[in-house]
Structure 1
Amino acid sequence: MVRRVTELALRTFGGKEHCEVLPFGSQATGLCLPGSDIDFVIRFFKKEDGGKEGGGDEQEEDGDCDPARSNPLHAFADAVREDFGVPGEFDAEDVLEIDGGNGSATTDDERLSYLEVIEHTRVPLVKFTVFPQNIDVDVCFDQPNGPESADLMHRFMESMPPLRPLTFALKYFLSSRDINKPFTGGIGSYLLQLMIVSFLQHRSREDASRGCGASGRHFNLGSLLVDFFELYGSDFNYVTAGISVRHDGYYFPKGAPDRREVFCSPRGPFTLAVENPLDVEMDVGAGAFRMQMISRIFGHAYKTLVAYVSEPALLSPEESVLARILPVSPEMEKRRAMKANEEGGEDWVATGGAGGVRAHERRVGGNAVGSIERGTPSEGRKGRTTAAVGPQGRRGGRTTVEASAGGEETAEILRRAESTATSSRGRGRAKRGRETGNGTKIVTSCCQLLMLRTALPV
């Protein structure tokens, strides 16, 4: 897809002598999730730039005689429509016929399913989606600092090892709630990365002052995730404070005379002000106008994690704490099974039952594991006994209690979350749990989530 869009842009605007096409964003930094957008910036060479291979000498200044350059948004949108096909020409049911019905597609099978020219925004762009892979592509023109911001993130990732896994987990958290699109008031990828960088900078200084070291290599990912939600969900003052990641990171007053014009948003006081380290006169957070709602979502995630970490009995040993805030998609389940099979891990063999009793059999690392569940959906709780038989015939058993998603049980969990998150005793227990054993469940879940990530097909 990157090659096809690049070739299309070069054909539309006169070739490499007149413009360059640069991918940026999560594709350039390697921080993309399956289904992430592919971002491009098309930069035109001016006469004084000299173009490439001397081509700039033949250009008219500012491209006055080139209608494509005078209105690049609509010129490129027309080229995309012609190259990929007009929306509506390709029936979604035809995907079953692609490549013998297995759902894989070639370049000739790709069709346009969505196209929009977004002009009245801070960054005008052409946005389109390609079917059947449902790849979203955003193309903007002559915007500064796109590829440069990717280089900056590479440097931050080298100096801050937790930045990469936290970005994956939080990007999925935002996308699962549809609050990751800047043009709808959400938190974009670059803004999220700057928020994480600022958080890690301040966290490193706090750890260094306590004699824990500031390298970041010893950090517990579960603890960092919970503390991130706590900072931006309850502690950070959005009304008066702004964020800068320059000079090892600091907060600045949004209302200061030299900052007020850029960082005091006319949308209201409750906005996130984040200085662009590549252009200090630009507010990266200006587009996140739903920040007040997003802050409440962060706060709810923090309380949920604290409740389950403080009260481990709420979960059985097999259940994930992270799954309480990150939905497990069918694609993740599929890839987890594939990875388990590759590593000789879990492989379901048989399941069955009747009369409220269900029996399961599976293999975990070559060992046979059986489980029995008793109970009916109306009972609200069910007991489960699991026994494992190893290669040498040793047998070990344990009994756990699993809570169903009944209304009373859910209400009780929310009450526990509220009480433990607001009481100093509960927060102290959660802190100790995150620093010792209980936080391991979040770390393990986070690492498992990251291992399920696959590169976006391009």
Structure 2
Amino acid sequence: MSMTKLFPWRKENYNYSDGVIGLHEEIDHYYQYILPTPCEHVVRNELVKRIEAMVHNLWPMAVVEIFGSFRTGLLLPNSDIDIVIIGLWEKLPLRTLESELIARRFAESRTMHVLDMAQVPIIKFVDCETKIKVDISFNMQSGVHSAELIKLFKRDYPVLSKLVMVVKQFLQQRGLNEVFSGGISSYSLTIMCVSFLQLHPRKVVAGKANLGVLLLEFFELYGSRFSYTNIQISLENGGSYRRAPLTSISQIFLPDPLNVANNIGRATNRIMAIKQSFRWAFEVLSLSINSTQRNNNSILGQIIHFNKEVVDQRAWLHKTFGHLIVVKPNEDESTSSQPVEPNSLI
């Protein structure tokens, strides 16, 4: 099997360098591969529009907003779409929306999950038409504000997106990226990455930093050096570490930059598994970049991979909805299929 089949981000006929420079090249190519194409972006936008029309049919004065990875642009091919509906209700209409989604054939009942007892009540389902996962909550405007904050951090730290996207994929394939199962949220992970860049001794702000070195240093810090039970991360005033409150029972203390009284890490109770995974990744990558027996094997592929289902789903999406992309007369198809930063189109 070819290298591009095993590791789809690797480019055919590209002579990857050895060591940490080769890792840098792979991370850069991985990022280009993982970004949504124009087709994928349009499909997601059309799905949001369909949901918005349905919501306005039910509640004409309600406001529909997207947040999370689709708004920030930090989404994987199988990431869900986070939607918040803002309106006035005495009781959140979770069951009303559930019934409407099924009646209008947005979702089959077997894919529908209404988490009405969760700290943040939410409806989760898979869209019948596009097979894209959707999470809908009510009146949680903080998610929109958090997404806008992340956009600012992306502007200040050009390497942030590439670092987050690699680590996010790494955690996802290990089942450590969902808060409801004790993992870490994308927002919390991004805060950890921002702190890492803020306090980096070389003040990494330029886009030319070696991504391989940064990834190794990130895994080393949070896999071996960081004391999760004693230290809290602060992004205020350029970033710092502070002593965690003695009364805290959280495994990781991450004050929300938008509301420092809110510990966004409080539900992450599998932090030791996350720490061990980070330490393992550092050891594996260190061995791989120093190996004299590489034989052009993928360094990044030692720690991340894509399930065949994800690759096939992506291909199906393009085959089924490719007609939604209109190619301009002076634009060839190869140009129209290039990755696009999602938040540049929303």
Instruction: Pick the TM interval, shorter chain.
Output: 0.7 to 0.9
TM-score (normalizing by structure 1): 0.56
The aligned residue for residue 74 of structure 1 is: 95
Which residue among 49, 66, 76 is the counterpart of 1:3?
Answer: 49
Amino acid at match of 1:277: P
Query: What is the CA RMSD across the aligned residues, in angstroms?
Result: 2.6
Distance in 2 between residues matched to 1:333 and 1:321, nearest whole Å: 24
Q: Deviations over 1:326-358 (max 9, x none)?
A: 11444669999xxxxxxxxxxxxxxxxxxxxxx
SS of residue matched to 1:177: coil
The aligned residue for residue 294 of structure 1 is: 274
Distance in 1 between residues matched to 2:148 and 2:107, nearest whole Å: 36
1:76, distance to aligned residue in structure 2 (A)? 1.3
Closer/same/farther in 2, CA of residues 334 and 123 from structure 1, 3 Å limit: closer
The aligned residue for residue 202 of structure 1 is: 199
The aligned residue for residue 164 of structure 2 is: 167
> Is 1:245 the counterpart of 2:215 in the alignment?
no
Closer/same/farther in 2, CA of residues 216 and 290 from structure 1, 3 Å limit: same
Closer/same/farther in 2, CA of residues 285 and 86 from structure 1, 3 Å limit: closer
The aligned residue for residue 190 of structure 1 is: 187
Q: Structure 2 matches for 1:48-87, cutoff 5 A?
A: 63=89, 70-84=91-105, 87=108
Given that 1:243 and 1:275 are in contact with CA atoms closer than 8 Å, whether structure 2 keeps it comes out as yes
The aligned residue for residue 373 of structure 1 is: none
Percent identical = 31
Which has the larger strand fraction?
1
1:122, distance to aligned residue in structure 2 (A)? 2.1
Given that 1:23 and 1:40 are in contact with CA atoms closer than 8 Å, whether structure 2 keeps it comes out as yes
> Is 1:31 the counterpart of 2:74 in the alignment?
yes
SS of residue matched to 2:177: coil
Which residue among 257, 262, 274 is the counterpart of 1:277?
Answer: 257
Given that 1:34 and 1:453 are in contact with CA atoms closer than 8 Å, whether structure 2 keeps it comes out as no
Distance in 2 between residues matched to 1:29 and 1:193, nearest whole Å: 11
Q: Structure 2 matches for 1:386-397, cutoff 5 A?
A: none
1:84, distance to aligned residue in structure 2 (A)? 1.7
The aligned residue for residue 118 of structure 1 is: 115
Gaps of 5+ in 2: 1-46, 316-337
SS of residue matched to 2:85: strand
Given that 2:107 and 2:128 are in contact with CA atoms closer than 8 Å, whether structure 1 keeps it comes out as no
Q: Structure 1 runs of 4+ off > 3 angstroms?
A: 328-336, 451-456
Distance in 2 between residues matched to 1:334 and 1:86, nearest whole Å: 17
The aligned residue for residue 86 of structure 2 is: 43
Closer/same/farther in 2, CA of residues 216 and 172 from structure 1, 3 Å limit: same
1:113, distance to aligned residue in structure 2 (A)? 4.7
Which residue among 315, 319, 325 is the counterpart of 2:297?
Answer: 319
Q: Deviations over 1:415-451 (max 9, x none)?
A: xxxxxxxxxxxxxxxxxxxxxxxxxxxxxxxxxxxx9
Given that 1:33 and 1:454 are in contact with CA atoms closer than 8 Å, whether structure 2 keeps it comes out as no
Instruction: Give 1 or 2 for the bigger CA radius of gyration.
Output: 1
1:149, distance to aligned residue in structure 2 (A)? 1.0
SS of residue matched to 2:292: helix
TM-score (normalizing by structure 2): 0.73
Distance in 2 between residues matched to 1:37 and 1:242, nearest whole Å: 29
SS of residue matched to 1:327: coil
Q: Structure 2 matches for 1:224-373, cutoff 5 A?
A: 224-255=214-245, 260=247, 264-265=248-249, 271-310=251-290, 312-316=291-295, 318-330=296-308
Distance in 1 between residues matched to 2:82 and 2:313, nearest whole Å: 28
By relative contact order (CA 8 Å, sep 6+), the higher-ranking structure is 2
Q: Structure 2 matches for 1:402-413, cutoff 5 A?
A: none
SS of residue matched to 2:222: helix
Distance in 2 between residues matched to 1:284 and 1:199, nearest whole Å: 17
State the number of aligned residues.
Answer: 275
SS of residue matched to 2:265: helix
Distance in 2 between residues matched to 1:156 and 1:170, nearest whole Å: 17
